[in-house]
Structure 1
Amino acid sequence: MKKDILKGVMAIGCIILALFTSAYLNDLEYKAKKESKKKQNTQAGQIYENNLNNTRFNLPVLLIDTSGQQILRNEEITANLQVYNNNSGLNTLNDKPNIISKVNIKIRGNSSTKYPKKQFSLELINGKGEEKESSLLGMPKESEWVLNGPFLDKSLMRNYIALNTAGKIMEYASRAKFCEVIIVDDGNKELSEDNYRGVYVLMEKIKRDDRRVDIIKTIDNINETSFILAKDRQKENDINITSYGKETDKYFYGLNIVYPKKDLTPEKYDYIMDEINNFERILYSDKFNHQTEGYSKYIDVDTFVDYYIINEFFKNTDAGMLSTYVYKDYEEKIKAGPVWDFNESMGNTMNKDEQVYDYTEFTMIHKPWFDRLMMDINFANKVVERYKELRKTYLSDEYLTKFIDETVKLLGDSTKRNFDRWPIYISNQAKVFEESGDITGDYSVDLDIYIKYLEEHKHLLKNTEGMATSYEEEISLLKNFIVNRGNWMDSNIDSLKKWAS
């Protein structure tokens, strides 16, 4: 009897042991598979868990992991970049990234740094920290890029529309592609809605390159040089030139050297300064429009005509004063461009009466250089005739309204995700943040801080009459502005000749 009981106990023990062993082995196998999958995913860059991982993005996705570092304004940090750009047109974080790269990143911009949705400068680098050229979203290879984050621009497309249109008209304009951005700066491997940063426009940074501003690289041991200059706010480490126009109060914001910088010598600096000063002294002299010795001796007039028209048509309020570029190649004249920064164009700014979408008035005639150029009947005639020519093609109502409709379709569901993250009513108060400075103290993207600030400072709120309260309304206002602006300019373009003498 006891033997039978013992045998039974031993049998049960064997069964339990077998079950335990099987469970243990299954657990080991499960852990091994999980570890293997984790390793594979890590190698592919897919190390995130959350519902964002299963979201089907209709735009390419740029995921930036800072390893817990906060992205700063004036100092680059190194992060990891993953680009998801599936040929099928739908992207998820479960896909294998098309590009994995180290990247230097920092917050860029001036007024826009005060908004909760930030803009960024990107520089692709290799494992040694050296710049690395890659093709992003099908654009030509380069190492330096701009992530423009439309916040003030509720259409999300003003830069995209203007830059692509300018690229059809001028020698070069920065290429631009839409994407959605996810930033992991909290050190977590589980994504939350806060990591999603919305719709961005990836743009080519303005720089010397045979695929961008195509001028010859500066040559050692000679004083002459090709160059790119920007009229803009002075930032730390900018190299400004002592220009005649700035010194004589013809304009407020001076010119900074964009290229060359690393190879800039005192002699090359003097050459650049002399080229600008020779042009400006003549431009603001009595013989500015002399047939052979006037301004046309120094500048490529046709590029200044196109620059004027593009910025005037889109009513780009900053152009001519800020974000204004010129460049020059060896043995050539100074050229206007590339055009830049259309966030506050196409009616997306208030006039003196605090009205938005005002499509009337010429603005470029009051801007430095152009205020003087438009006094020459030859320049004014060129502007008028070139405008009438472009109205038949790239500045026509049909071309631009169709372009806007195609862009809305391209953006698709991404607009809903963007405005879920950055509500339109907050964007309509962007000027409050500009005028209040950095209300967070560290350029935070925490939307709650901005909402709380508006609630506690109701006396600062802007009048939003005439502003869109939905994306669909914004697109309607944008299209109406384009049509109304074109019709107004058609009726008034010939009057520009009255400024000439």
Structure 2
Amino acid sequence: MKSYRPPSPFFQLIHLSIFILILIGCQEKLDLTAIPKGDDGQVFAIDTKDSEIPYLVIDTQGASIPYEPGVPAQLKIYENKKLVQTQRIDIEFRGKTSFRLSDKKGFNFETIDASGEGVDVSFFGMPAEEDWRLIGQVVNKSNGYIWDQSMLYNYIGYELSRSIGKYASRGVFVELEVNGEYQGVYYFCEKLKRDSQRIDIKSLNATSTNLTGGYILTIDKVSIGDAGIGKPLSYFYNNWDDDARYTEQNSFRSQYDIFKNKITFPPFHPPYHQNQHLETYFLYEYPKDRNITEAQKSYIAQYMYDFETALITDDFDKGERTYADFINIETFVDYFIINELCRNVDAYRLSTYLVKDRNEKLSMGPVWDMNIGFDETDRIPINDWVINYNSYVAQDAWMMPFWWNRLLEDPEFRKVLKIRWMNFRSGVLSNSRLTQLVENASQYLQSNGAVARNYEKWNIPGARPYDQAIEELKSYLMERANWMDSEIGNF
């Protein structure tokens, strides 16, 4: 019998190579490599496993995303890795301070047709429109901070506003991939604009003879608009002066300063001049500054002047409150309630919407932009009103208008506020409902793995564990609501 002789090293290497090739072939055939894909073959930047959270893939076909105007792209929406919607869009970056500070950028996009024209489209059952927002929290890796570690602030604020019967931007949580790179958890929501299903007011154009409405004004930083077209993306990282570049075309100024005094110096000085902290500007949101007529400008400016004059001069001790002829008090009360509960330090003085419909009074809202609020901010104590901002921050470029402390001097305004607050606290704003809102949303993100995926992408060393952030958010809401119970109960 011949003795066994093992193959030479050369033949062993050949056998091993053949085995590896066969194995690779089997893996490709059986897809054992587990590359995450949609059912249409789209390869995902990250494996969302069995997540129920919608996964969005945006592809600009190699084009860089600008600040403005947008570039064409394709949007695909997957649910449980199944393609449920494909849409052409026009996408651009969004935000002012958040754009400059955050590594996790936000986006505006418009739905377009094959020719590039805007077209109304419905997403996730929301009413069809063409303007949408993708908002993520601010993450600054180089300086090691996150605003809104819960990723819930905007969602909670808007849900609370809707719960008391006011319109707020509808939206859903999604996970986002842009040009092959995973971006994390975002809030996909409606842009605030005039629309029968959003801010529902009458149209106003150059041929309108009834000047009473509708108008949408904002108290905010200036959007650069058409002046930004053609500027390189690098420009927008340092264009802080543009935030305060108020002009006769884009805005008008209150005739009163933050102390209720008549302003004697002219408006529209250069950005950040020494008296800017005294001023409040009203930006034209609708009609846009390029469309609003001089007659319409004159009407709405006079209306605001008459309202502010009445608010200042009314003698509440004598029962005078002619200011109520100009405003829908309930909307002011509700705006106050939501923004104070959320301790939104940008409210009233930034990201603030005012609406005047045709033949109607001025209304406050909708609420917007809650990313610096709740337990995040340290500018306002948990046991004081946000409207007292001026007592804590000296000469910010955007200070608190005089309206709110003056309104609280009116016993009738306080009475309405007390009635509505107590009614809400016994129902939609009860401690149990507030807690449930936070728990349900955070559990949805956690149980689907989105929190872990987001913070694997946007890890900040030393940041609080997510569970701790949620517990602190719930504790904040209980403490804030209970403090408001005490304060408003004494009105």
Q: TM-score range by the shorter chain?
A: 0.7 to 0.9
Q: Could you report, residue by residue, the CA deviation over 1:364-395 in whole angstroms, capped at 9, with x for unpaired residues?
A: 25542212211111112222222122111122
Cross-structure match for 2:434: 400
Counterparts of 2:460 and 2:331 in 1: how far apart (Å)?
37
Superposed displacement of residue 292, structure 1: 6.5
Check 1:276–1:178 CA distance in 2 against 1; reply closer, same or farther (3 A cut).
same
Secondary structure of the structure 1 residue equivalent to 2:252: coil
Check 1:266–1:392 CA distance in 2 against 1; reply closer, same or farther (3 A cut).
same
Select the residue among 422, 428, 437 that pairs with 1:388.
422
> Is the 1:146–1:203 contact (alpha carbons within 8 Å) kept by the matching residues of 2?
yes
Cross-structure match for 2:386: 363
- Residue type of the alignment partner of 2:358: Y
Cross-structure match for 2:160: 165
Counterparts of 2:317 and 2:202 in 1: how far apart (Å)?
30
- Residue type of the alignment partner of 1:212: R
Cross-structure match for 2:374: 346
- Residue type of the alignment partner of 1:420: E
Cross-structure match for 2:356: 328
Secondary structure of the structure 2 residue equivalent to 1:340: coil
- Residue type of the alignment partner of 1:423: N
The reply on whether 1:254 has 2:281 as its aligned counterpart is yes
> Is the 1:102–1:127 contact (alpha carbons within 8 Å) kept by the matching residues of 2?
yes
Check 1:71–1:492 CA distance in 2 against 1; reply closer, same or farther (3 A cut).
same
- Residue type of the alignment partner of 1:235: S
Select the residue among 191, 196, 203 that pairs with 2:189.
203
Unaligned segments of structure 1, at least 5 residues: 1-29, 31-40, 185-190, 353-357, 429-467
- Residue type of the alignment partner of 2:333: V
Secondary structure of the structure 2 residue equivalent to 1:278: helix
Cross-structure match for 1:307: 335
Secondary structure of the structure 1 residue equivalent to 2:435: helix
Superposed displacement of residue 107, structure 1: 1.2
Unaligned segments of structure 2, at least 5 residues: 1-27, 29-36, 139-146, 226-248, 264-275, 390-399
Cross-structure match for 2:254: 243
Counterparts of 1:299 and 1:51 in 2: how far apart (Å)?
50
Select the residue among 54, 59, 62 that pairs with 1:65.
59
Check 1:371–1:250 CA distance in 2 against 1; reply closer, same or farther (3 A cut).
farther
Superposed displacement of residue 409, structure 1: 2.2
Check 1:136–1:251 CA distance in 2 against 1; reply closer, same or farther (3 A cut).
farther
Superposed displacement of residue 359, structure 1: 2.5
Secondary structure of the structure 1 residue equivalent to 2:420: helix
Secondary structure of the structure 1 residue equivalent to 2:217: strand
Secondary structure of the structure 2 residue equivalent to 1:299: coil
Match runs of 1:78-227 below 5 Å: 78-84=72-78, 86=79, 91-92=80-81, 95-96=82-83, 98-113=84-99, 114-151=101-138, 152-184=147-179, 191=180, 195-218=181-204, 220-224=207-211, 225-227=213-215
TM-score (ref. length: structure 1): 0.73
Q: Quote the sequence identity (%).
A: 33
Check 1:54–1:303 CA distance in 2 against 1; reply closer, same or farther (3 A cut).
closer
Superposed displacement of residue 56, structure 1: 3.8
Counterparts of 1:218 and 1:420 in 2: how far apart (Å)?
48
Counterparts of 1:62 and 1:414 in 2: how far apart (Å)?
13
Counterparts of 2:216 and 2:278 in 1: how far apart (Å)?
19
> Is the 1:58–1:414 contact (alpha carbons within 8 Å) kept by the matching residues of 2?
no
Cross-structure match for 1:22: none
Check 1:351–1:51 CA distance in 2 against 1; reply closer, same or farther (3 A cut).
closer
Counterparts of 1:289 and 1:211 in 2: how far apart (Å)?
41
- Residue type of the alignment partner of 2:184: G
Counterparts of 1:170 and 1:422 in 2: how far apart (Å)?
35
Larger helix percent: 1
Cross-structure match for 2:407: 373
Counterparts of 1:45 and 1:104 in 2: how far apart (Å)?
25
Secondary structure of the structure 2 residue equivalent to 1:267: helix
> Is the 1:223–1:267 contact (alpha carbons within 8 Å) kept by the matching residues of 2?
no
Counterparts of 1:54 and 1:476 in 2: how far apart (Å)?
26
Counterparts of 1:479 and 1:389 in 2: how far apart (Å)?
21
Cross-structure match for 2:234: none
Counterparts of 2:284 and 2:74 in 1: how far apart (Å)?
30
Check 1:288–1:334 CA distance in 2 against 1; reply closer, same or farther (3 A cut).
farther
- Residue type of the alignment partner of 2:120: E
Check 1:53–1:215 CA distance in 2 against 1; reply closer, same or farther (3 A cut).
same
Q: Could you report, residue by residue, the CA deviation over 1:109-142 in whole angstroms, capped at 9, with x for unpaired residues?
A: 1221121001111111111221111111221111
Secondary structure of the structure 2 residue equivalent to 1:68: coil
Q: Could you report, residue by residue, the CA deviation over 1:265-291 in whole angstroms, capped at 9, with x for unpaired residues?
A: 221222222222221222223557875
Q: Could you report, residue by residue, the CA deviation over 1:146-188 in whole angstroms, capped at 9, with x for unpaired residues?
A: 111023111011111110110121431111211111000xxxx
TM-score (ref. length: structure 2): 0.74
Counterparts of 1:340 and 1:301 in 2: how far apart (Å)?
19
> Is the 1:230–1:324 contact (alpha carbons within 8 Å) kept by the matching residues of 2?
yes
Superposed displacement of residue 483, structure 1: 0.9
Q: Could you report, residue by residue, the CA deviation over 1:410-443 in whole angstroms, capped at 9, with x for unpaired residues?
A: 2131111111111144xx8xxxxxxxxxxxxxxx
> Is the 2:162–2:168 contact (alpha carbons within 8 Å) kept by the matching residues of 1?
yes
> Is the 2:343–2:374 contact (alpha carbons within 8 Å) kept by the matching residues of 1?
yes
- Residue type of the alignment partner of 1:384: K
